[in-house]
């Protein structure tokens, strides 16, 4: 067992996803298969090997500290599912 | 049982760049909501960050000013969590490869100097602002502030009292202001502080359970909150209880800490190196170039004030605690005023009249103060009149010469004029004269006082004193 | 010949010679789209009026003379690439109504050349999939054989080109999403070196693997497209400052002096015999052109898929966290608390495959598992990079199959995600190493399904890749008869 139902529930919460009973059962099985497959990486000894984040080595990509135009208030808000012309509106936190 | 307090401070300083850390939006404070955003800082689909090199420069500066190690290679990481003021669902920050590590600064508490370690400093982006509706269960999101560059400064848990914490906070603030890389305004949020505090029995090495304090919006509040929390924790421990690890909010109205209402969920931030940002490599040449741009720092300036201006440590310390105040002092002295007199004047009259406002808002320019103090030196006005003139200058911003002229306050130093009044007062107060001649020399104060009154404060008090002495001897 | 049958190169010649107008060309494609779309289902969004406006503008430029090869030529765009003012859905309900306020850099480049953006094409949701069956709106039908998949995630791109709806398309490739559908649909598809083409405006799936690339009917067209979309972009920190050669200049005949490697690990047991035969025919062609072919080894090939299916979902789980219903995209308006809003929105907006990958990715990064999964995969990635570095000291390019099998039936592999993942085994290595790879049509199987041949090269060797691909294409002389429809 690479991943239990409870672990998947926890991960789903971290990812802000709802999973119903059927999905929980099915996905626990599917993820378990996938994790069992990727476990083949354990066959390799990687002691002392540096991880790769970028396939091509680049450093120091900078920009100058110069102002460029922002979106207008309307443009910024227009795609908002719920907005009041000034702010994005969301349900209260608690 | 004696307890030792252990405090660590986490400071977030908003860096004073013109633009945000990863996009070209301006960082101006106080604009209308959602008017200072672009697809990048809004975290729209498909956008990518590009690092503002000025943020790196400022961070290196702060590292050098605190005797820290600048990491030759550093990298951004993603700190993943969900919150409405965080449009990408992650904050771009630095995790295992921060730009600065292992620094230190000196603080002074009760005349004693102490070294406080700085664990690390790293660059990150600020989140937006949330406003909660008073009545409806709604919150409003303003994303102007998202992407503003922050430098997070983490101290070692070397602070042993709220006073030390306060001094450390002030010192970091002063350095940031001296470097002019941060506005340092706690009310506006450009300088924020969270604290970690725990108690342990004196002599114990192991740290006690700590609480995290947030929402301390002024220097005073930091000290008050820490003092409260020390007392709170000590009471619990003395009772035999244990401290629950928690995040507490300081309530400045009720003067106490409160547990955060939402269920305290230990966050799993799932840090990993940000693939959209390439590593930053800083070579010796870059560091040396930044080093040449460092201004005189608080400690150096204080030392110079004590040696060059021959000021006492106390004066030098107070004047150099803020760059603006130190600048004000020096400009006044450069205008021709005496150093110690200027220092005294600033520490008493000026700071009192300012009533806690920033020196930059002072209506009296240092050159004007200089002129005022020169007038006292030259005897044009006496000290007491100078105070009156100064108060008028604080109101109107006028030059001292103008005020003196308008109010006809030039000091009377004409012997003849004063002598006339001296004789009048002697004639009017025979009883006191008798007593004075009988040995009550303290009454000189009375006589001079009478003369000051008669002359509407304008008489030269020393001259008055001398003339009285002469006349009463006879 | 109908204008819609012209390649980009042929159209460019006629347009330059004023024997054809852009309007005629675009109208011809629009008519073709109308005719075949009911079957092909490649397009999510077509705006004929806007396309003709662009065509007319192109005609003005063409009249002035000196226009580039793409001026007036219609191109379809994978709906993962942001187009200002036009919905960009990423094949997902989450962004069904999202209209970006900006263009991706590649779109700006196409517009600057005067290309006509003819429409947005279908894709697997957020580029996660190998058949475009994960598109929330429609699944394109393989023009070569109805009822068969087009591949994915750039299925719509490949289908639109193979169905002669437009001569070129822009797709994206994270684990094979350009090369695999190109192979299954019999078109040319190139994944550039990581950092060759700007990612600004490409909705991110796996940031360290994604690249935009062209799908075309021949190698020359591919070179023309690469000329326009390649180059440094200051808006993309991972974009490389390196000159863009004229890729068409690389297209000359004869491969004398070139050494081509045959990586043994790419010829495993799961390979369909017809697929293997196609590759070996390719080997013969290259030899005949003068290349030397040697056996080489990429020892960590078998681990590539496992590395990919940890790194890609991990990065994706973070990249897709922005879809939270707050400032754009779908929001479940019924939700009564913030937490409820997040969960309902994301559960409604994402379909199964996306959820699965977000879950794997979140798990691989989570406390206690980071070292065993994400970090481990990143370390093996270093070994994979080393493999390629080594192999390119022994040869100039690699030749291999693209996909272990030709296209399969729609619905055939939707039950077992892992089985579907296995079709990416030959394409994921290039993404992990950041090297360029191209799929060139290698002929049809006995049942009439296309099979592609893959060439891979070192970083920034696209010119070498196109050079060999050109010779491969010439040598195979397929004389493709495009599906009638």
Render pLDDT for B419-451 as a digit per residue (tens, 0 to 9).
889 899 999 999 989 999 888 989 899 999 998
Residue of A64, A67, A74, A85 to mutate, testing the B interface (most B Cβ within 10 Å of its Cβ): A67
In a domain, A25, yes or no: yes
Among chain B residues, CA nearest to A54: B275
Residue B265: pLDDT over 80:
no
Among the listed residues C169, C177, C198, C439, the single catalytic one is C177
Cross-chain Cβ contact B270/C90 below 8 Å? no
Nearest CB neighbour to B275, from listed C200, C207, C366: C207
Nearest CB neighbour to A62, from listed B32, B53, B75: B53
Query: Considering chain C, what is the average pLDDT of its residues?
Result: 97
Q: Does C296 touch chain B (CB under 8 A)?
A: no
Render pLDDT for C59-70 as a digit per residue (tens, 0 to 9).
999 999 889 999
pTM of the model: 0.92
Nearest to C364 by CA among B89, B268, B77: B268
- A28: domain range? 5-43
Domain ranges of chain C: 1-485
Q: From the CA atom positions of chain C, what is the Rg in Å?
A: 21
Cross-chain Cβ contact A90/B42 below 8 Å? no
Q: Specify the pLDDT at position B283.
A: 97
Residue A33 sits in a domain of what CATH number? Answer: 1.10.20.60
Residue C119: pLDDT over 60:
yes
- B384: domain range? 298-406
The arithmetic mean of pLDDT across residues C27-35, rounded, is 98
In a domain, B362, yes or no: yes
In a domain, A57, yes or no: no
Same structural domain, B202 and B262: yes
Render pLDDT for B346-393 as a digit per residue (tens, 0 to 9).
999 999 988 877 788 899 999 999 999 999 998 888 888 899 899 999
Cross-chain Cβ contact C380/A90 below 8 Å? no
Among the listed residues C28, C130, C153, C317, the single catalytic one is C153
In a domain, A69, yes or no: no
Among the listed residues C41, C78, C191, C344, the single catalytic one is C78
Q: What's the token pair of residue B23?
A: 């996009």
The arithmetic mean of pLDDT across residues C207-235, rounded, is 98
In a domain, A68, yes or no: no
Q: Specify the pLDDT at position B417.
A: 86
In a domain, A60, yes or no: no
Q: Specify the pLDDT at position C297.
A: 98
Residue of A7, A45, A62, A81 to mutate, testing the C interface (most C Cβ within 10 Å of its Cβ): A81
The arithmetic mean of pLDDT across residues B25-44, rounded, is 97
C157 part of the active site? no
pLDDT band for position A94 (50/70/90)?
A: low
Distances (CA, A) of B285 to B282, B292, B448, C300, C373: 8, 11, 68, 41, 39
Order of strands, sheet of B69-70, starting from the edge strand that comes earlier in the sequence: B69-70, B100-109, B112-125, B149-155, B3-14, B191-201, B211-214, B247-251, B256-259
Q: Specify the pLDDT at position B111.
A: 85
CB burial of residue C39 (10 Å; 0-12, 13-18, 19+)? middle
The arithmetic mean of pLDDT across residues A6-12, rounded, is 96
Q: What's the token pair of residue B184?
A: 């340092």
Q: Does B72 touch chain A (CB under 8 A)?
A: no
Query: Partners for C (CB, 8 Å, 3+ pairs)?
Result: A, B
Cross-chain Cβ contact B36/A63 below 8 Å? no
d(C-alpha B387, C-alpha B382), whole Å: 9
Per cent of chain B over pLDDT 70 is 99
In a domain, B75, yes or no: yes
Query: Considering chain B, what is the average pLDDT of its residues?
Result: 93
Write out chain B residues lying below 8 Å of C95, CB-based.
45
CATH architecture of C1-485: Alpha-Beta Complex (3.90)
Largest interatomic CA distance in chain C: 70
Residue B262: pLDDT over 60:
no
Nearest to C362 by CA among A15, A25, B275, A18: A15
Render pLDDT for C416-452 as a digit per residue (tens, 0 to 9).
898 899 989 999 999 999 999 999 999 999 999 999 9
| Number of domains chain B is built from | 3
In a domain, A54, yes or no: no
In a domain, B68, yes or no: yes
| Number of domains chain A is built from | 1
Nearest CB neighbour to B275, from listed A54, A62, A63: A54
Residue B474: pLDDT over 80:
no
Q: Specify the pLDDT at position B361.
A: 85
How many CB atoms within 10 Å of residue B249? 17
Classify residue C289 by its DSSP letter: T
Render pLDDT for A18-64 as a digit per residue (tens, 0 to 9).
999 999 999 999 999 999 999 999 999 999 999 999 998 999 999 99
The arithmetic mean of pLDDT across residues B60-83, rounded, is 98
Cross-chain Cβ contact B42/A91 below 8 Å? no
Residue B264: pLDDT over 60:
no
Same structural domain, B331 and B279: no
Nearest CB neighbour to B33, from listed A58, A71, A87: A87
Q: Specify the pLDDT at position B359.
A: 87
Q: Specify the pLDDT at position B383.
A: 86
In a domain, A56, yes or no: no
Cross-chain Cβ contact C207/B276 below 8 Å? yes
Residue of A12, A58, A62 to mutate, testing the B interface (most B Cβ within 10 Å of its Cβ): A62
Q: Specify the pLDDT at position B261.
A: 58
C375 part of the active site? no
């Amino acid at each position: 067992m690479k991943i239990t139902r409870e672990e998947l529930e926890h991960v789903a919460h971290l990812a802000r996803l709802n999973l119903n009973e059927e999905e929980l059962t099915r996905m626990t099985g599917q993820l378990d298969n996938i994790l069992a497959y990727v476990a083949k990486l354990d066959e390799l000894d990687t002691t002392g090997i540096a991880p790769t984040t970028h396939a091509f080595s680049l450093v120091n990509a900078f920009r100058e500290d110069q102002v460029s135009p922002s979106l207008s208030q309307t443009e910024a808000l227009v795609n908002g599912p719920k907005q009041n012309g000034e702010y994005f509106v969301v349900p209260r936190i608690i | 049982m004696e307890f030792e307090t252990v405090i660590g401070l986490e400071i977030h300083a908003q860096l004073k760049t013109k633009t945000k850390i990863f996009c070209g939006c301006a960082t101006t404070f106080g604009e209308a909501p959602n008017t200072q955003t672009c697809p990048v800082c809004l975290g729209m689909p498909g956008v990518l960050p590009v690092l503002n090199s000025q943020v790196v420069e400022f961070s290196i500066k702060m590292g050098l000013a605190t005797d820290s190690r600048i990491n030759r290679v550093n990298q951004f990481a993603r700190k993943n969590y969900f919150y409405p003021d965080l449009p990408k669902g992650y904050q771009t920050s630095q995790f295992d490869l921060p730009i600065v590590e292992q620094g230190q600064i000196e603080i002074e508490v009760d005349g004693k100097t102490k070294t406080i370690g700085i664990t690390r400093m790293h660059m990150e982006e600020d989140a937006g602002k949330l406003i909660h509706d008073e009545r409806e269960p709604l919150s409003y999101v303003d994303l102007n502030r998202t992407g503003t560059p922050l430098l997070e400064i983490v101290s070692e848990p070397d602070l042993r009292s709220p006073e030390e914490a306060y001094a450390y906070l002030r010192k970091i603030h002063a350095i940031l202001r001296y470097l002019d890389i941060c506005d340092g305004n706690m009310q506006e949020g450009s300088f924020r502080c969270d604290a970690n505090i725990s108690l342990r029995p004196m002599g114990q090495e192991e740290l006690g359970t700590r609480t995290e304090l947030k929402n301390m919006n002024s220097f005073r509040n930091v000290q008050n909150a820490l003092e409260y929390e020390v007392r709170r924790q000590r009471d619990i421990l003395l009772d035999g209880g244990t401290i629950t690890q928690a995040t507490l909010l300081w309530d400045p109205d009720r003067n106490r800490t409160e547990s955060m209402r939402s269920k305290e969920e230990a966050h799993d931030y799932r840090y990993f190196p940000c693939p959209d940002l390439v590593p930053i490599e800083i070579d010796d040449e870059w560091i040396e170039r930044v080093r040449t741009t460092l201004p005189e720092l608080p400690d150096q300036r204080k030392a110079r004030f004590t040696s060059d201006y021959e000021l006492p440590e106390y004066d030098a310390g107070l004047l150099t605690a803020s760059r603006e105040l130190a600048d004000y002092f020096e400009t006044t002295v450069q205008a021709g005023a005496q150093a110690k007199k200027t220092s005294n004047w600033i520490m008493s009259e000026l700071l009192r009249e300012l009533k806690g406002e920033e020196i930059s808002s002072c209506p009296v320019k240092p050159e004007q103060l200089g002129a005022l103090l020169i007038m006292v030196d030259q005897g044009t006005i006496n000290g007491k009149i100078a105070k009156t003139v100064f108060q008028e200058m604080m109101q109107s911003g006028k030059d001292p010469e103008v005020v003196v002229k308008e109010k006809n306050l030039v000091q009377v130093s004409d012997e003849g004029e004063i002598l006339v009044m001296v004789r009048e007062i002697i004639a009017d107060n025979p009883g006191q004269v008798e007593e004075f001649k009988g040995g009550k020399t303290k009454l000189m104060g009375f006589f001079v006082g009478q003369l000051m009154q008669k002359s509407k404060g304008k008489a030269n008090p020393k001259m008055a004193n001398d003339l009285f002495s002469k006349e009463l001897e006879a | 010949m109908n204008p819609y049958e012209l390649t980009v190169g042929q159209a460019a010649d006629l347009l330059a010679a004023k024997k054809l107008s852009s309007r005629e060309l675009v109208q011809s494609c629009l008519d073709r789209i109308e005719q075949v779309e009911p079957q092909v289902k490649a397009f999510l969004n077509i705006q004929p009026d806007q396309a003709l406006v662009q065509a007319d503008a192109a005609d003005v430029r063409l009249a002035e003379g000196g226009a580039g090869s793409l001026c007036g030529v219609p191109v379809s765009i994978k709906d993962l690439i942001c187009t200002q003012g036009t919905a960009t859905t990423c094949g997902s309900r989450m962004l069904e109504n999202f209209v970006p306020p900006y263009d991706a850099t590649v779109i700006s480049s196409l517009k600057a050349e005067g290309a006509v953006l003819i429409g947005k094409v279908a894709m697997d949701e957020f580029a996660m999939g190998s058949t475009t069956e994960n598109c929330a709106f429609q699944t394109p039908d393989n023009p070569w054989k109805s009822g068969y998949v087009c591949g994915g995630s750039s299925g719509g791109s490949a289908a639109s080109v193979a169905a002669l709806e437009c001569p070129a398309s822009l797709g994206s490739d994270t684990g094979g999403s350009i090369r695999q559908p190109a192979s299954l649909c019999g078109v040319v598809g190139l994944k550039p070196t990581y950092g060759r083409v700007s990612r600004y405006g490409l909705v991110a799936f796996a940031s360290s693997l994604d690249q935009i690339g062209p799908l075309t009917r021949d190698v020359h067209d591919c070179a023309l497209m690469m000329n326009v979309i390649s180059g440094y972009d200051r808006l993309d920190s991972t974009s490389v400052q390196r000159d863009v050669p004229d890729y068409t200049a690389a297209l000359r005949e004869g491969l004398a002096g070139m050494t081509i490697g045959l990586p043994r690990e790419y010829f495993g047991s799961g390979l369909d015999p017809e697929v293997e035969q196609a590759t070996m025919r390719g080997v013969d062609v290259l030899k005949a052109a003068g290349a030397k072919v040697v056996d080489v080894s990429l020892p960590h090939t078998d681990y590539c898929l496992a590395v990919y299916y940890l790194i890609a979902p991990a990065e994706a789980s973070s990249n897709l966290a922005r879809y939270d219903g707050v400032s754009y995209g779908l929001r479940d308006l019924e939700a009564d608390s913030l937490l409820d809003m997040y969960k309902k929105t994301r559960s409604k907006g994402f379909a199964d495959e996306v959820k699965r990958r977000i879950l794997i990715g979140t798990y691989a990064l989570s406390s206690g598992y980071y070292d065993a999964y994400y970090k481990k995969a990143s370390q093996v990635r270093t070994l994979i990079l080393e493999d390629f570095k080594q192999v390119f000291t022994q040869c100039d390019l690699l030749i291999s199959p693209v996909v272990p099998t030709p296209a399969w039936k729609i619905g055939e592999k939707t039950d077992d995600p892992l089985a579907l993942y296995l079709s990416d085994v030959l394409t994921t290595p290039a993404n992990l190493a950041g090297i360029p790879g191209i799929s060139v049509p290698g002929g049809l199987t006995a049942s009439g399904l296309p099979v592609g041949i893959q060439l891979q090269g070192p970083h920034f060797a696209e010119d070498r890749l196109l050079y060999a691909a050109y010779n491969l294409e010439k040598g195979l002389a397929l004389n493709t008869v495009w599906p009638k429809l």
